[in-house]
Amino acid sequence: MKERKKGPLTTRRINRGAILSGIGFLLYLAARALGWELAADLICIVFGVIAVLTFLAAAVGRQKDKELVSYSLLWGTGALALLLGGCAVLTVKMKLGL
């Protein structure tokens, strides 16, 4: 992969966001398994936002330059965004009673 000039759409930043999202999902699962409801909810919301923003950055990067972002990175960040983002939306809806 080519590394571009510094800016919001570098491969290194997208990779870091994907790794951070994966760690967030593991933390969310661990907090849920231990029964820490409030911690799990906060982790889900914070890392859900990070995952969605990372996916959007990967999608824009892929659209601008096909060699910058691989399909693996795009699909991986998309899967994490669906998992964490979906859980975050459902958590917020549940907390608000919607």
68-90: burial string, b at 16+ Cβ within 10 Å, e else = bbeeebbebbbbbbebbbebbee
Give residue 8's pLDDT band: very low, low, confident or very high (50, 70, 90).
Answer: low
Q: What is the crossing angle of helices 37-64 and 11-34, to 10°?
A: 160
Give residue 31's pLDDT band: very low, low, confident or very high (50, 70, 90).
Answer: very high
Going by C-alpha positions, the residue among 87, 92, 95, 96 that lies closest to residue 26 is: 87
pTM above 0.95, yes or no: no
The residue that leads in pLDDT, 95 or 43, is 43
Q: How many CB atoms lie within 10 A of CB 44?
A: 28
Q: Could you tell me the two tokens for 22?
A: 């994966």
